Amino acid sequence: MIQLPKDEALTPKPSPHNFFIWGATMSGKSYFASFFPHPLSLNTDGNAEQGSTPSIQIRNVRNKDGKLEQSAIKQLDEVITALQSQPHTFKTLIVDVIDDICVMIEQAICLEAGVQALSDIPYGKGFATFNGVLQQFVMDLKALPMNVIYVSRELAITDEQTGTTEKTPSLKTKYYNIVNGNCDLVIHTEKFGTDTYTRTITDRRTKYEPENIKDARVKKLLESCTGMF
């Protein structure tokens, strides 16, 4: 029989493990993420070989008939299984970039169903499948005993009337909500001029105390973010 917990107030000592980093191209997203402890990167943009982080390239591969030969969905599944079952020393998983992973999941579902778009799959089943796959992916990553970092590009929208520019993560809102529902900290990277890089906390699950962050390296990285402590 299930053992109920004691009826008592707890004093949590929260420490962030799931991160969302967004910023313009070349603003230092991958660079910052690479300093987290023992990183492994799930890479989509093909420029991983320029970095020092070990990586796995995620992609959909089609055969000459246009059929799906290697599905990104299956590949992600295999990565998660490997991280769960193989002995390894990785402590941080970087999803670089999540925007592309979402597009690949969408493509894989469409290719498998032989349609052009999710909306071509009847009764909303395409969208439902997509949400299920993304939700499962995010939940599986969260359950790993590792830091997880989702990297997303930036969307800058300028209001013609006022001339102000609003910057947001480029991940579509409904996907952003699925991913971010499982993140503890949102970090915006920016580059000014040719060599000034900044990092700013734009959202957080709770107020974190430096003494609760056990990993010294993670603590130091977070201390370099404006608005953290």
Ligand X SMILES: Nc1ncnc2c1ncn2[C@@H]1O[C@H](COP(=O)(O)OP(=O)(O)O)[C@@H](O)[C@H]1O
Interacting residue ranges for ligand X, rule: CB under 6 A: 23, 25-31, 189, 197
Whether the CB-CB separation of 190 and 226 falls below 8 Å is answered with: no
Indicate which of ligand X, Mg ion, none lies near residue 53 (CB less than 5 to 8 Å, by partner kind). Answer: none
Report 19-48 residues binding Mg ion (CB under 5 A). 30
Output the smallest distance, CB 71 to Mg ion, in A. Answer: 24
Output the smallest distance, CB 124 to Mg ion, in A. Answer: 34
Output the smallest distance, CB 219 to ligand X, in A. Answer: 17
- The total of other beta-carbon atoms located within 10 Å of residue 91's CB is 16
Nearer to ligand X, 180 or 189 (CB): 189
Residue nearest to ligand X (CB): 28
Rounded-to-integer distance, Cα 85 and Cα 154, Å:
35
Nearer to ligand X, 73 or 93 (CB): 93
Beta strands in the chain (DSSP E): 18-23, 39-43, 55-57, 61-62, 68-70, 92-96, 147-152, 154-158, 165-169, 185-192, 196-204
Rounded-to-integer distance, Cα 95 and Cα 197, Å:
21
Residue nearest to Mg ion (CB): 30
Output the smallest distance, CB 46 to ligand X, in A. Answer: 12
Indicate which of ligand X, Mg ion, none lies near residue 25 (CB less than 5 to 8 Å, by partner kind). Answer: ligand X
Indicate which of ligand X, Mg ion, none lies near residue 14 (CB less than 5 to 8 Å, by partner kind). Answer: none
